[in-house]
Amino acid sequence: MRIFLDTANVDQIRQGVKLGIVSGVTTNPSLISKEGLADYKAVVKAICKIVPGPVSAEVVVEGVEPMIEQARDIATWASNVVIKIPATTDGLEVISVLSKEDIKINMTLCFSLNQALLGALAGATYVSSFVGRLDDIGHDGMELVRDIVDVFEYYQLTTEVIAASIRHPEHCVVAAKAGAHIATVPYKVLMQMIQHPLTDAGVTRFLADWQRVSQK
C-alpha cells in the first residue's frame, strides 16, 4: 500500500517527502481553505513541484460543462496533477469525457460500491473511499474499502482504490489488510504511524548500554 499525504500544507508536504515514503498528495477545497490559500493555481503548482507523484486537486464548480472546462484547465497546471471529480451523476459524465482525453481522475466523495464501480467503468484512475466519514454515521467505512478492492480484483478493473478520510493509524493497518492500493493520510497520522513507545525505550536503552561499554 502506498502512502499519500492528505493536506495542502506545503511545509508538511516537504517534511513528508523528505522521509522518502510519500508518493502522492490529495487536497480538497476544505484543506486548501484551511491554509488560507487564495491562489489555487499557485498552491497546486507549488505542491506538484515538491511531490514525486500524483497530486489531486478538486474541481470547485458544479455542472457538467463547468467541471469539464475547469478540469481541463487544472490538468495543464502540472504533469502530475490529478483531477478530483465528485461521485455524482454529473461527475460520472465528466469522468467519462475526461478519461478519454487521458486526463487522470480521482473520483472523490465515494461512499458506496456502486459509485466506485461506476467510477471505474467511466475510466477514473483512482476512487477515493471516505472511511472516516462513513464511520462517523455509524457505518463500517473500511468494509467498503474491502468490498471495492475485492470487486475491482474480481473484474480485473485497473482503477486504484484510495482509502481516504483516514483519522488514525489503525485505519492504515486495516486499509493495508483490506488491500487498498493507497491510503491518503493527514500528516499527524503519518507521524503516528512511525511512532512506538517500545522503539523509543529500546533506542534509549541501547544507547545507554553502549555508553557504558564505550566509556570503559
Cell representation of residue 168: 488514525
Min dist CB 96 to ligand E4P, Å, is 21
Min dist CB 26 to ligand E4P, Å, is 4
164 binds ligand E4P (CB under 6 A): yes
9 binds ligand E4P (CB under 6 A): no
Number of residues that bind ligand E4P (CB under 6 A): 11
Contact characters 122-141, ligand E4P, x per CB under 6 A: ------x-x-xx--------
Look up 84 and say whether it is catalytic: yes
Q: Are 132 and 171 in contact (CB under 8 A)?
A: yes
- How many beta carbons lie within 10 A of that of residue 65, not counting itself? 12
Binding positions for ligand E4P, 70-109, rule CB under 6 A: 108
**H-type helices in the chain, by residue range?**
10-18, 29-34, 40-50, 64-74, 89-99, 113-122, 131-136, 141-154, 169-178, 187-194, 197-214
Cell representation of residue 96: 467519462
165 binds ligand E4P (CB under 6 A): yes
Residues forming the active site: 84
